[in-house]
Structure 1
Protein backbone atom coordinates (compact mmCIF):
# COMPACT_ATOMS: atom_id res chain seq x y z
CA UNK A 1 0.00 0.00 0.00
CA UNK A 2 1.35 3.41 -0.95
CA UNK A 3 1.97 5.97 1.74
CA UNK A 4 -0.76 8.64 1.30
CA UNK A 5 1.75 11.33 2.34
CA UNK A 6 4.43 10.39 -0.17
CA UNK A 7 4.83 12.58 -3.21
CA UNK A 8 3.51 11.21 -6.48
CA UNK A 9 5.28 12.11 -9.69
CA UNK A 10 4.11 12.56 -13.26
CA UNK A 11 5.02 9.79 -15.74
CA UNK A 12 7.51 12.15 -17.44
CA UNK A 13 9.23 12.77 -14.09
CA UNK A 14 9.44 9.04 -13.38
CA UNK A 15 10.91 8.50 -16.85
CA UNK A 16 13.52 11.19 -16.09
CA UNK A 17 14.34 9.57 -12.72
CA UNK A 18 14.92 6.25 -14.50
CA UNK A 19 17.24 8.02 -16.97
CA UNK A 20 19.12 9.80 -14.14
CA UNK A 21 19.45 6.58 -12.14
CA UNK A 22 21.65 5.20 -14.94
CA UNK A 23 24.06 8.14 -14.72
CA UNK A 24 27.00 7.77 -12.33
CA UNK A 25 26.55 11.10 -10.53
CA UNK A 26 22.86 10.48 -9.75
CA UNK A 27 22.96 6.74 -8.98
CA UNK A 28 22.83 7.16 -5.18
CA UNK A 29 19.93 9.64 -5.15
CA UNK A 30 16.35 8.81 -4.28
CA UNK A 31 13.48 10.13 -6.43
CA UNK A 32 12.77 12.93 -3.96
CA UNK A 33 16.41 14.04 -4.22
CA UNK A 34 16.50 13.79 -8.03
CA UNK A 35 13.31 15.87 -8.18
CA UNK A 36 15.32 18.84 -6.89
CA UNK A 37 17.19 18.92 -10.23
CA UNK A 38 14.11 18.85 -12.49
CA UNK A 39 13.43 22.63 -12.52
CA UNK A 40 17.11 23.30 -13.32
CA UNK A 41 17.27 21.03 -16.38
CA UNK A 42 17.38 22.59 -19.84
CA UNK A 43 17.03 20.54 -23.02
CA UNK A 44 19.34 21.61 -25.84
CA UNK A 45 19.94 20.27 -29.33
CA UNK A 46 23.35 20.36 -30.96
CA UNK A 47 24.49 19.44 -34.48
CA UNK A 48 27.54 17.61 -35.84
CA UNK A 49 30.88 19.38 -35.24
CA UNK A 50 29.35 21.81 -32.75
CA UNK A 51 31.55 22.40 -29.73
CA UNK A 52 29.65 22.10 -26.44
CA UNK A 53 32.56 23.68 -24.54
CA UNK A 54 36.30 24.18 -24.92
CA UNK A 55 39.15 23.13 -22.68
CA UNK A 56 40.00 25.85 -20.11
CA UNK A 57 36.46 27.33 -20.24
CA UNK A 58 34.81 27.87 -16.83
CA UNK A 59 32.83 24.77 -15.81
CA UNK A 60 29.35 26.24 -15.99
CA UNK A 61 27.15 23.15 -16.44
CA UNK A 62 26.83 19.38 -16.22
CA UNK A 63 25.68 17.70 -19.46
CA UNK A 64 23.64 14.49 -19.76
CA UNK A 65 23.30 12.80 -23.15
CA UNK A 66 19.69 11.93 -24.08
CA UNK A 67 20.56 11.19 -27.72
CA UNK A 68 23.66 11.36 -29.91
CA UNK A 69 27.41 11.02 -29.46
CA UNK A 70 30.08 13.32 -28.03
CA UNK A 71 33.87 13.14 -28.25
CA UNK A 72 35.93 14.42 -25.37
CA UNK A 73 39.24 15.67 -26.74
CA UNK A 74 42.43 17.21 -25.44
CA UNK A 75 44.65 19.63 -27.31
CA UNK A 76 48.00 18.06 -28.14
CA UNK A 77 50.15 20.64 -29.88
CA UNK A 78 48.00 21.60 -32.91
CA UNK A 79 45.75 18.53 -32.89
CA UNK A 80 42.71 17.37 -30.97
CA UNK A 81 43.19 13.88 -29.57
CA UNK A 82 40.07 11.95 -28.57
CA UNK A 83 40.24 10.64 -25.03
CA UNK A 84 36.70 9.25 -24.84
CA UNK A 85 33.55 8.83 -26.92
CA UNK A 86 30.26 9.15 -25.05
CA UNK A 87 26.67 8.33 -25.99
CA UNK A 88 23.13 8.10 -24.57
CA UNK A 89 23.07 7.85 -20.79
CA UNK A 90 26.56 9.27 -20.31
CA UNK A 91 27.39 12.53 -18.54
CA UNK A 92 30.24 14.96 -19.08
CA UNK A 93 31.35 18.28 -17.67
CA UNK A 94 31.51 16.55 -14.29
CA UNK A 95 33.88 19.11 -12.81
CA UNK A 96 30.93 21.53 -12.76
CA UNK A 97 30.09 19.74 -9.50
CA UNK A 98 33.16 21.48 -8.08
CA UNK A 99 33.49 25.19 -7.35
CA UNK A 100 35.63 27.45 -9.57
CA UNK A 101 36.74 24.64 -11.91
CA UNK A 102 37.87 24.97 -15.51
CA UNK A 103 37.24 22.42 -18.27
CA UNK A 104 40.03 19.90 -18.75
CA UNK A 105 38.88 18.78 -22.19
CA UNK A 106 36.90 19.98 -25.22
CA UNK A 107 33.48 18.38 -25.89
CA UNK A 108 32.52 17.99 -29.56
CA UNK A 109 29.33 16.59 -31.12
CA UNK A 110 30.16 13.74 -33.53
CA UNK A 111 26.64 12.49 -34.36
CA UNK A 112 24.29 14.23 -36.82
CA UNK A 113 22.43 15.63 -33.83
CA UNK A 114 22.76 15.40 -30.08
CA UNK A 115 20.11 16.09 -27.49
CA UNK A 116 21.60 17.10 -24.16
CA UNK A 117 20.19 17.94 -20.78
CA UNK A 118 22.09 20.88 -19.32
CA UNK A 119 22.17 21.50 -15.57
CA UNK A 120 23.79 24.84 -14.76
CA UNK A 121 26.57 24.98 -12.17
CA UNK A 122 24.81 27.68 -10.12
CA UNK A 123 21.70 25.47 -9.81
CA UNK A 124 23.81 22.48 -8.73
CA UNK A 125 25.57 24.61 -6.10
CA UNK A 126 22.23 25.93 -4.85
CA UNK A 127 20.97 22.36 -4.41
CA UNK A 128 24.25 21.39 -2.68
CA UNK A 129 24.04 24.39 -0.32
CA UNK A 130 20.55 23.44 0.87
CA UNK A 131 20.92 19.64 0.72
CA UNK A 132 24.20 18.39 2.21
CA UNK A 133 23.11 14.74 1.79
CA UNK A 134 22.64 15.19 -1.96
CA UNK A 135 26.03 16.89 -2.17
CA UNK A 136 27.69 14.08 -0.18
CA UNK A 137 26.16 11.38 -2.39
CA UNK A 138 27.08 13.13 -5.63
CA UNK A 139 30.62 13.97 -4.45
CA UNK A 140 31.13 10.33 -3.49
CA UNK A 141 30.13 9.34 -7.04
CA UNK A 142 32.45 12.01 -8.45
CA UNK A 143 35.34 10.71 -6.31
CA UNK A 144 34.69 7.16 -7.57
CA UNK A 145 34.58 8.47 -11.16
CA UNK A 146 37.93 10.24 -10.74
CA UNK A 147 39.43 7.20 -9.01
CA UNK A 148 38.44 4.99 -11.96
CA UNK A 149 39.95 7.53 -14.36
CA UNK A 150 43.19 7.58 -12.35
CA UNK A 151 43.35 3.77 -12.50
CA UNK A 152 42.91 3.95 -16.30
CA UNK A 153 45.55 6.66 -16.58
CA UNK A 154 48.09 4.69 -14.57
CA UNK A 155 47.35 1.47 -16.48
CA UNK A 156 47.79 3.35 -19.75
CA UNK A 157 51.04 4.83 -18.46
CA UNK A 158 52.39 1.39 -17.52
CA UNK A 159 51.47 0.03 -20.97
CA UNK A 160 53.14 2.91 -22.83
CA UNK A 161 56.09 3.38 -20.49
CA UNK A 162 58.68 5.80 -21.76
CA UNK A 163 56.40 8.12 -23.75
CA UNK A 164 55.85 10.58 -20.93
CA UNK A 165 56.94 11.12 -17.36
CA UNK A 166 54.26 10.68 -14.71
CA UNK A 167 56.20 13.10 -12.51
CA UNK A 168 55.07 15.89 -14.85
CA UNK A 169 51.55 15.51 -13.42
CA UNK A 170 52.72 17.01 -10.13
CA UNK A 171 54.98 19.80 -11.40
Structure 2
Protein backbone atom coordinates (compact mmCIF):
# COMPACT_ATOMS: atom_id res chain seq x y z
CA UNK A 1 0.00 0.00 0.00
CA UNK A 2 1.29 3.47 -0.90
CA UNK A 3 1.71 5.94 1.94
CA UNK A 4 -0.24 9.10 1.00
CA UNK A 5 2.04 11.16 3.27
CA UNK A 6 5.32 10.10 1.68
CA UNK A 7 7.22 12.71 -0.32
CA UNK A 8 6.97 12.46 -4.09
CA UNK A 9 9.71 13.71 -6.39
CA UNK A 10 9.49 15.15 -9.88
CA UNK A 11 11.18 13.63 -12.92
CA UNK A 12 14.22 15.91 -12.75
CA UNK A 13 14.83 15.05 -9.08
CA UNK A 14 14.46 11.33 -9.81
CA UNK A 15 16.99 11.60 -12.65
CA UNK A 16 19.42 13.37 -10.34
CA UNK A 17 18.93 10.72 -7.64
CA UNK A 18 19.69 8.02 -10.20
CA UNK A 19 22.83 9.88 -11.29
CA UNK A 20 23.99 10.37 -7.68
CA UNK A 21 23.37 6.78 -6.59
CA UNK A 22 25.77 5.57 -9.29
CA UNK A 23 28.56 7.55 -7.61
CA UNK A 24 30.46 5.71 -4.87
CA UNK A 25 30.04 8.35 -2.17
CA UNK A 26 26.25 8.60 -2.60
CA UNK A 27 25.38 4.94 -3.26
CA UNK A 28 24.20 4.21 0.31
CA UNK A 29 21.89 7.22 0.56
CA UNK A 30 18.13 7.06 0.21
CA UNK A 31 16.22 9.60 -1.90
CA UNK A 32 15.22 11.61 1.16
CA UNK A 33 18.91 11.88 2.11
CA UNK A 34 20.02 12.69 -1.45
CA UNK A 35 17.43 15.49 -1.53
CA UNK A 36 19.54 17.37 1.07
CA UNK A 37 22.32 17.79 -1.52
CA UNK A 38 20.23 19.15 -4.40
CA UNK A 39 20.05 22.79 -3.18
CA UNK A 40 23.84 22.79 -2.65
CA UNK A 41 24.68 21.68 -6.21
CA UNK A 42 26.05 24.15 -8.72
CA UNK A 43 26.26 23.29 -12.41
CA UNK A 44 29.40 24.68 -14.01
CA UNK A 45 30.86 24.45 -17.52
CA UNK A 46 34.60 24.23 -18.09
CA UNK A 47 36.66 24.39 -21.29
CA UNK A 48 39.63 22.37 -22.53
CA UNK A 49 42.83 22.80 -20.48
CA UNK A 50 41.02 24.71 -17.73
CA UNK A 51 42.33 23.81 -14.28
CA UNK A 52 39.60 22.86 -11.82
CA UNK A 53 42.08 22.89 -8.93
CA UNK A 54 45.79 22.43 -8.25
CA UNK A 55 47.55 20.02 -5.96
CA UNK A 56 47.96 21.48 -2.45
CA UNK A 57 44.93 23.81 -2.87
CA UNK A 58 42.39 23.70 -0.02
CA UNK A 59 39.72 21.05 -0.69
CA UNK A 60 36.75 23.35 -1.15
CA UNK A 61 34.34 21.21 -3.19
CA UNK A 62 33.35 17.77 -4.44
CA UNK A 63 33.01 17.47 -8.25
CA UNK A 64 30.66 15.18 -10.17
CA UNK A 65 31.17 14.78 -13.93
CA UNK A 66 27.98 15.20 -16.01
CA UNK A 67 29.88 15.32 -19.32
CA UNK A 68 33.41 15.62 -20.63
CA UNK A 69 36.76 14.32 -19.39
CA UNK A 70 38.90 15.41 -16.46
CA UNK A 71 42.50 14.29 -16.00
CA UNK A 72 43.80 13.92 -12.48
CA UNK A 73 47.57 14.21 -12.26
CA UNK A 74 50.32 14.47 -9.71
CA UNK A 75 53.22 16.90 -9.90
CA UNK A 76 56.59 15.24 -10.30
CA UNK A 77 59.30 17.89 -10.35
CA UNK A 78 58.30 20.11 -13.33
CA UNK A 79 56.02 17.53 -14.98
CA UNK A 80 52.49 16.28 -14.48
CA UNK A 81 51.89 12.54 -14.50
CA UNK A 82 48.29 11.54 -15.17
CA UNK A 83 46.98 9.09 -12.61
CA UNK A 84 43.35 8.85 -13.69
CA UNK A 85 40.80 10.06 -16.21
CA UNK A 86 37.30 10.82 -14.89
CA UNK A 87 34.29 10.85 -17.24
CA UNK A 88 30.47 10.91 -17.06
CA UNK A 89 29.21 9.62 -13.73
CA UNK A 90 32.61 9.91 -12.10
CA UNK A 91 33.58 11.96 -9.11
CA UNK A 92 36.76 13.65 -7.91
CA UNK A 93 37.83 15.95 -5.10
CA UNK A 94 36.72 13.30 -2.61
CA UNK A 95 38.89 14.63 0.19
CA UNK A 96 36.51 17.60 0.41
CA UNK A 97 34.41 15.21 2.53
CA UNK A 98 37.13 15.65 5.17
CA UNK A 99 37.77 18.75 7.24
CA UNK A 100 40.85 20.92 6.56
CA UNK A 101 42.15 18.75 3.72
CA UNK A 102 44.37 19.85 0.84
CA UNK A 103 44.25 18.52 -2.71
CA UNK A 104 46.60 15.64 -3.44
CA UNK A 105 46.39 15.96 -7.23
CA UNK A 106 45.67 18.52 -9.96
CA UNK A 107 42.41 18.32 -11.95
CA UNK A 108 42.49 19.53 -15.58
CA UNK A 109 39.74 19.46 -18.22
CA UNK A 110 40.77 17.18 -21.12
CA UNK A 111 37.80 17.51 -23.47
CA UNK A 112 36.49 20.38 -25.57
CA UNK A 113 34.20 21.20 -22.69
CA UNK A 114 32.98 19.55 -19.51
CA UNK A 115 29.93 20.03 -17.34
CA UNK A 116 30.56 19.45 -13.65
CA UNK A 117 28.30 19.53 -10.64
CA UNK A 118 30.08 21.29 -7.80
CA UNK A 119 29.11 20.67 -4.18
CA UNK A 120 30.93 23.11 -1.87
CA UNK A 121 32.72 21.74 1.18
CA UNK A 122 30.83 24.05 3.56
CA UNK A 123 27.49 22.72 2.27
CA UNK A 124 28.64 19.12 2.72
CA UNK A 125 29.76 19.89 6.28
CA UNK A 126 26.39 21.54 7.07
CA UNK A 127 24.60 18.40 5.85
CA UNK A 128 26.98 16.22 7.90
CA UNK A 129 26.49 18.36 11.02
CA UNK A 130 22.70 18.16 10.81
CA UNK A 131 22.50 14.50 9.76
CA UNK A 132 25.08 12.12 11.28
CA UNK A 133 23.58 9.13 9.40
CA UNK A 134 24.39 10.74 6.04
CA UNK A 135 27.90 11.50 7.28
CA UNK A 136 28.38 7.91 8.50
CA UNK A 137 27.21 6.44 5.19
CA UNK A 138 29.39 8.74 3.10
CA UNK A 139 32.44 8.28 5.35
CA UNK A 140 32.04 4.50 5.05
CA UNK A 141 32.08 4.88 1.27
CA UNK A 142 35.13 7.17 1.49
CA UNK A 143 36.94 4.60 3.68
CA UNK A 144 36.14 1.86 1.15
CA UNK A 145 37.40 4.10 -1.67
CA UNK A 146 40.69 4.81 0.14
CA UNK A 147 41.03 1.11 1.04
CA UNK A 148 40.72 0.22 -2.64
CA UNK A 149 43.34 2.84 -3.50
CA UNK A 150 45.70 1.35 -0.88
CA UNK A 151 45.19 -2.15 -2.29
CA UNK A 152 46.01 -0.90 -5.81
CA UNK A 153 49.04 1.03 -4.52
CA UNK A 154 50.44 -2.01 -2.70
CA UNK A 155 49.79 -4.29 -5.70
CA UNK A 156 51.56 -1.80 -7.97
CA UNK A 157 54.45 -1.62 -5.53
CA UNK A 158 54.79 -5.42 -5.45
CA UNK A 159 54.75 -5.55 -9.26
CA UNK A 160 57.42 -2.83 -9.62
CA UNK A 161 59.53 -3.64 -6.57
CA UNK A 162 62.58 -1.46 -6.16
CA UNK A 163 61.42 1.74 -7.84
CA UNK A 164 60.57 3.48 -4.57
CA UNK A 165 60.63 2.76 -0.87
CA UNK A 166 57.19 2.10 0.55
CA UNK A 167 58.50 3.19 3.96
CA UNK A 168 58.58 6.77 2.64
CA UNK A 169 54.80 6.71 2.54
CA UNK A 170 54.65 6.52 6.35
CA UNK A 171 57.37 9.04 7.22
TM-score (norm 2): 0.99
How far apart, in 2, do the equivalents of 1:35 and 1:13 lie?
8
- 2:107 is aligned to 107
Would you say how many aligned residue pairs link Structure 1 and Structure 2? Answer: 171
Structure 1 equivalent of residue 144 of structure 2: 144
Instruction: Give the TM-score taking structure 1 as reference length.
Output: 0.99
Structure 1 counterpart SS, 2:36: helix
1:69-115 CA-to-partner distances (Å, cap 9, x unmatched) read 11100000110000011100000000000000000000000011100
Alignment of 1:57-76 (within 5 A): 57-76=57-76
What is residue 161 of structure 1 aligned with on the other side? 161
Q: CA deviation at 1:2?
A: 2.2
Deviation at 1:10, TM superposition (A): 1.2
**Equivalent residue number for residue 36 of structure 1:** 36
Question: Cα distance, 1:3 vs. partner?
Answer: 1.1
Q: Distance in 2 between matches of 1:62 and 1:150?
A: 21
> Displaced runs of 4+ in structure 1, greater than 3 A?
none
List alignment gaps of at least 5 residues for structure 1: none
Q: CA RMSD in A?
A: 0.5
